[in-house]
Every structure is written in C-alpha cells, then in structure tokens.
Chain A
Amino acid sequence: MDPMLTFLVILIGMYGLSTSKNIIKSVFSVTIIESGVILLFLNLGNWQGGSIPIINGAADLIADPLPQALMITTIVIGSTVTALALMLCIKVFHHYGTVEWREILRRGEGK
C-alpha cells in the first residue's frame, strides 16, 4: 500500500470540486475526497507486520484501532453531510430554477 496513491484520490476529488459546473457534481466530488481521507488514515495506522485488531491472546503487533474507530464515525457523518447538501441543492433549484453554478450567479445578480 502506498499512501501517495491514496493521496492521488484526494487530489482527483479536489480537481472535480474545482472544475464541476453543477452542484450535484460537486457533492459527488466531496464523497470521493471523503473516501480518500478515510483510506489515508487507515493506511497510516496499518504498520508493517500488524494484524487485524481483534486480540485473541497471542497477537503481539496489531493495526492501530483508534483511527479505525474515528473513520467509522467519518463514514456515518459523511452520509448525513451528503444528504444535507443534496437537500440544499433541491432548495436552490426551487429558488433559481437551475443547479449550474454560473447560471445561479447570473440570475442572482440580475434580480
């Protein structure tokens, strides 16, 4: 496992976030960044020769269980953040009639 390849996933998500023209596409990019961050954390806690952190008497070296516990929380919170962002996206659509960033800015100024 190479942390740099994981970091590349985060960079791809940031590229998508900065180039997307559509609000829903931006939310997709946030999901990708979240997966990349979770992978990076798990990768840092997984040192060479470690085993799964289920202690059965004889394990002498285990992967760090603390980032794993934190990352479960991140997954759950990430799903709620996605739901909230999509709800706001529906509200924006009902307000402006479009979900394109540029079009929203144009219509907001021309009011």
Chain B
Amino acid sequence: MPDMLEITAYALQVLLIIMALAIVTHKNTGTIIVLIAVFSLVTASLYVINKAPDVAIAEVAIGSAIIPLIYVISISRQREFIVLDKAMDDFIISDDAFTGVGYIFLKRFTDFYHLELNISNDVRLCSVGRGREQKLCEETNVDLIVSKDEETGKYLLKGKQSNILMHKLKQMARDYDTIEVVTFKDRDFGD
C-alpha cells in the first residue's frame, strides 16, 4: 500500500517539525531532554520509511538512549562545587556533622550562586603535597582546596585565579579573621 506509507511519512514529518519547534522554544531543560528522546524515535521511524533500517537501529540505540543520558548526567554534574578538605579538623566537620565555621561559610557562598556543595576528603587527593596543589586544581575538577596554615593558625582556601567565583569568595572572606583566600596565578600554556 504505497498510499498509506506516503500518508504516514507526511504525518511523521509534520510531527518532527512540531517536535523541533517545541525543543527550540521550550524553557524547562528536563522537558527538553524527554522531547529530544521522542524526537530521535520519530526520526528513526522516518529513516525506516526512507529505506534505511540500519541507520534507524543506530539512531534508536544512540539518539534516544545515550544522548539523553549524556544530557542528564552533565546537567546534574554542572552545579557541583567540589571542595577538597585537607585540614581534617573541626573547621568543616565537627561532631560528625556539617556544623563547622568553614562549612557554614562555604554553604552561604554556594547558596548565593545556586551551586551544590560537594565536600570530598579523598585520601589519594589529600596526600598531595603543597607544591603540587596548583597542578591538582588544573588537572582535576577540584574547585577549592581547604588546608590549615600551621604557623598562623589560619585556614587557607585555595583556588584558581581565573575562576570568577574566587573574587566573590575573597569579598565574603573579609568578615572572617580565620579564613584567608589564596589564588593560584594562571600559567601560560604556550601557543
């Protein structure tokens, strides 16, 4: 029945255009991800109508499963602000709960930017010496390193200078005597 197939093809193409307009104009990101998955399924059925079932198999597997997964993972990871806690005392965690002075300070900062505070005390990363901290900040996704200066008793918050957020952190740290914000200078990577 060639007529039936043609009608189906036109209906699917009109549906495809409506889906594309919905994706472009919609505001909510979570809804757009679901729409992208449905959009991929519609295109896959159009590939079958265009006599390409092999491409349709690849599109169903990748377009409607893996791409939405990539979007969900990256959007949920986007708002993480990762802090490496090298001080290991009651600055951040006191009495097995997040009630330390440093935690309240960092929480105020991350709430201001609607970020998600993620405090890590990974043993492998914490054992990095002072000289290699800048390299750690550049190579991994750690945003801030908290450590204690033994001589002055101040807590040092270290981050990259190029990070715009560090300026705000410096401003907020002026109210506290025990907190000092240190920034690493950006190294030129050559051309």
Q: Which of chain A's residues have a CB closer than 8 A to the CB of B70?
A: 79, 82-83, 86
Contact indicator A79/B62 (Cβ below 8 Å): yes
Mark out the residues of chain A between 1 and 57 whose CB falls within 8 Å of any chain B CB in the assembled complex: 1-2, 5-6, 8-9, 12-13, 15-16, 19-20, 24-25, 28-29, 31-32, 35-36, 38-39, 42-43, 45-46, 50-53
Total cross-chain contacts (CB, 8 A): 130
Contact indicator B74/A42 (Cβ below 8 Å): no
**In the complex, B128 has a CB within 8 A of chain A:** no
Contact indicator A87/B74 (Cβ below 8 Å): yes
Contact indicator A8/B63 (Cβ below 8 Å): no
**In the complex, B24 has a CB within 8 A of chain A:** yes
**In the complex, B104 has a CB within 8 A of chain A:** no
Contact indicator A75/B58 (Cβ below 8 Å): yes
Bound Cα distance from A16 to B40, whole angstroms: 17
Residues on B lying within 8 angstroms of A by beta carbon are 6, 9-10, 13-14, 16-17, 20-21, 23-24, 29, 32, 36, 39-40, 43, 46-47, 49-55, 58-59, 62-63, 66-67, 70-71, 74-75, 77-79, 113, 115, 141, 143, 162-165
A12-B21, A19-B24, A46-B51 known; 4 new pairs, CB 8 Å cut-off, are A24-B29, A35-B39, A63-B51, A97-B165
